[in-house]
Amino acid sequence: MQNERYESGLKKLNEIDGEAGQKVIDALASVSPDLSKYIIEYGFGDIYQRPGLDLKSREIATVAALTALGHCQPQLNVHVHGALNVGCTAKEITETIIQISAYAGFPAAINGMLVAKEVFIERGIIEE
């Protein structure tokens, strides 16, 4: 059954975060494969499987929280990819980050926006 959580979680991770999620798993492999396992099982096997909030809204919530926290830029990168992968527009992502400027201040919003910029350039959505 744990295998089920892990397997459905890994599938969901790949569906949402794609290559960016796999890189996190790979980076942790030599130091703590168990932390990866928990991220997959709890994050993607439990939470992202839940009904009651669509994937687009889950990614908007995640982009908002990571922007506000301010010290999670590698994870924000992954979830800007994730938001785009589940159907958010670039506009919805930049609006979410602008929204956060009122709640966590301009520095958090600027730093979050520059992470979004990198992802948008990488995916050819904007030019440098």
Could you list the residues that contact its own copies (CB under 8 A)? 1-2, 5, 24, 27-28, 30-32, 34-35, 38-39, 42-43, 46-47, 50, 52-53, 56-58, 60-72, 74-75, 89, 91-92, 94-111, 113-114, 116-117, 120, 126-128
Residue 89's Cβ-side half-sphere holds a number of Cα atoms within 13 Å equal to 3
Question: Based on CB atoms, which residue is closest to its own copies, 75 or 85?
Answer: 75
Q: How would you classify residue 53: left for phi > 0, otherwise alpha for psi between -120 and 50, otherwise beta?
A: beta
- Give me the residue label for tokens 């301009």: 106
Radius of gyration of the chain (CA): 15
CB 113, min distance to its own copies, A? 5
**Nearer residue to its own copies within complex by CB, 18 or 92:** 92
Rounded to a whole number of angstroms, the minimum distance from the CB of residue 100 to its own copies is 5
Cα separation, 66 vs 82, in Å, equals 13
- Scanning the structure block, which residue is given the tokens 């991220």? 39
Query: 11 or 96, CB closer to its own copies?
Result: 96
For residue 54, the minimal CB distance to its own copies (Å) is 9
Q: How far is the CB of 21 from its own copies (least distance, A)?
A: 11
Q: Could you give the residue ranges of the DSSP H alpha helices within the chain?
A: 2-28, 33-38, 55-69, 73-85, 90-104, 106-122
Query: Which C-beta is closer to its own copies: that of 11 or that of 65?
Result: 65
